[in-house]
A and B are shown apart, each in its own frame.
Chain A
């Protein structure tokens, strides 16, 4: 009979109308993402041996590493920067790190007002740790 399908469909929508609401109240309620999510990166400065494997593993040349030699002629990290505007969030850097110094974080709110702000300085030798400057927080 014509119209039966429409009535069947309406019965489904009515059923859904009275089922519990599933809307997430973002940004009032922040979602809790699983730990495997790689949305943001941080550097464990103690663990980093400045080998540069992460920079080579990155498909998009996001990571810039500057190193220096210390008094014992050992390589030391001078500057570590991630240019997040080119990041694919594939996590190959964290995966390739031999000392697991790259930490993946679940902070996904990385929007910034300018291109300059998308650069994340994770370490600079003569400066205070920069990871407190959240991207897009200022300006």
Chain B
């Protein structure tokens, strides 16, 4: 580390700086103990657990259906994707075949949720770099998605939309025209974001080459999702092991080149467009039919272990379910992408100045509800 003071014979001391747990840029209640040498970050220690609610233990005392509302509260920016991961695990364990129409509705709402989640990332990253305007613009678009969710799920944030065997509500009247309108507007809005954020010299200057993580390092930290793809590793579960009906849609997996904060941001912008493409195709080909499979009223999962994961908005979202044959899980482990991704933060932040450390943290896109669960 180059510290000019020491070269001129001036001695400086390291000091400890607590970032968080109530710091606005930590996106919740995350705390990083930074050891600083002047403006430079020498060491970072992650401190998590402030939002721990014991979800895994709660699951042991809830029936399978009753646990669905709790999954909303893990990654609260992508409730539907959490619901999906959980019900898919139970469906896999019970061997339930989900009706096609339900799968399509899941894809449409799931991809909408992915767009909403990425919009928050884009917005909050701009906000962390002192850009207030894009925050407002992105939240305006997210609001439209939440309005759509309100129509179909009855809630905006804590959706509880999926059920084991399908979805509880069919597409309501007026939903599709509203969604079409949103899809028609989205490319223009995304271009607006590009003009406001991506092309902005200050933003580029503060993110390019900051928090670089090459493919090897990203893999060694076990990063998944957009953060891994930003480092140039082509791994998207929707393509690699297509679940649900993702094998029927034509979409690309955007990849980053340098694995820096800018790539991680830009990848989200590209993914928003790809998600819109998937929704477009799903809307065009959605079949008629049932939205719920024949499922017993009382769910009993056969004895055994199941692991199932989906491509969440932040990475691989996995559920490991151990059942003793009863109506409640014997053990449920939640593998949350944010928690794993946060592990790479000290490596990104070490040796950079404090401002760059903030940019790196914003680019990982953590949600503390999921880190601590």
Q: Mark B209-225, 1 if CB is under 8 A from A, else 0.
A: 00000000000000000
Chain B residue numbers with a CB within 8 Å of A58 are 66
Instruction: Tell whether A16 is near chain B: CB-to-CB under 8 Å.
Output: yes
Q: Is the CB of A2 within 8 A of B195?
A: no
Q: Is the CB of B195 within 8 A of A8?
A: yes
- In whole angstroms, how far apart are the Cα atoms of A55 and B33 in the complex? 45
Binds A, one of B196-204, B258-266, B308-316: B196-204
Knowing A6-B200, A36-B169, A91-B154, say if A57 contacts B65 (CB, 8 Å): yes
Chain B residue numbers with a CB within 8 Å of A16 are 137, 192
Q: Is the CB of A6 within 8 A of B172?
A: no
Please provide the chain B residues from 42 to 75 with a CB less than 8 Å away from any CB of chain A in the complex: 62, 65-70
Q: Is the CB of A36 within 8 A of B152?
A: yes
Instruction: Tell whether B243 is near chain A: CB-to-CB under 8 Å.
Output: no
Most chain B beta-carbon contacts within 10 A, residue among A8, A22, A88, A90: A90
Instruction: Tell whether A37 is near chain B: CB-to-CB under 8 Å.
Output: yes
Please provide the chain A residues from 47 to 88 with a CB less than 8 Å away from any CB of chain B in the complex: 57-59, 88
Counting residue pairs across A and B whose Cβ atoms lie within 8 Å, the total is 73
Q: Is the CB of B195 within 8 A of A88?
A: no
Instruction: Tell whether A129 is near chain B: CB-to-CB under 8 Å.
Output: no
Q: Is the CB of B195 within 8 A of A9?
A: yes
Most chain B beta-carbon contacts within 10 A, residue among A16, A57, A59, A104: A59
Is the interface on chain B under 10, 10 to 19, 20 to 34, or 35 or more residues? 20 to 34
Instruction: Tell whether A131 is near chain B: CB-to-CB under 8 Å.
Output: no
Q: Is the CB of A59 within 8 A of B195?
A: no
Query: How close is A85's CB to chain B, nearest CB, in angstroms?
Result: 15
B193: nearest residue on chain A (CB-CB)? A12
- In whole angstroms, how far apart are the Cα atoms of A92 and B161 in the complex? 11
Q: Mark A30-52, 1 if CB is under 8 A from B, else 0.
A: 00011011100000000000000
- In whole angstroms, how far apart are the Cα atoms of A9 and B168 in the complex? 43
- In whole angstroms, how far apart are the Cα atoms of A9 and B160 in the complex? 38
Please provide the chain A residues from 102 to 123 with a CB less than 8 Å away from any CB of chain B in the complex: 104
Query: How many chain-A residues does the 8 Å CB contact rule pick out?
Result: 27
B58: nearest residue on chain A (CB-CB)? A59
A36: nearest residue on chain B (CB-CB)? B154
Q: Is the CB of A37 within 8 A of B150?
A: yes
Knowing A8-B195, A59-B70, say if A13 contacts B151 (CB, 8 Å): no
- In whole angstroms, how far apart are the Cα atoms of A72 and B178 in the complex? 53
- In whole angstroms, how far apart are the Cα atoms of A137 and B337 in the complex? 43
Q: Mark B242-265, 1 if CB is under 8 A from A, else 0.
A: 000000000000000000000000
A11 is contacted by which of B65, B168, B195 (Cβ under 8 Å)? B195
Instruction: Tell whether A134 is near chain B: CB-to-CB under 8 Å.
Output: no
- In whole angstroms, how far apart are the Cα atoms of A8 and B204 in the complex? 14
- In whole angstroms, how far apart are the Cα atoms of A90 and B133 in the complex? 34
Chain A residue numbers with a CB within 8 Å of B154 are 34, 36-38, 91, 104
Q: What would be 22 A-B contacts, judged by CB atoms less than 8 Å apart?
A: A2-B201, A5-B195, A5-B199, A5-B200, A9-B133, A9-B199, A12-B196, A13-B133, A16-B192, A34-B172, A36-B151, A36-B154, A38-B155, A57-B65, A57-B66, A59-B69, A89-B158, A90-B68, A90-B69, A91-B154, A91-B160, A104-B154
Q: What is A's interface to B at a CB cutoff of 8 Å?
A: 2-6, 8-9, 11-13, 16, 22, 33-34, 36-38, 57-59, 88-92, 95, 104
Q: What is B's interface to A at a CB cutoff of 8 Å?
A: 62, 65-70, 133, 137, 140, 150-155, 158, 160, 168-169, 172, 192, 195-197, 199-202, 204
| Extra pairs beyond A6-B200, A12-B196, A37-B154 (12, CB < 8 Å) | A4-B199, A5-B199, A6-B202, A8-B196, A9-B133, A12-B192, A12-B195, A16-B192, A36-B151, A59-B70, A90-B69, A92-B66
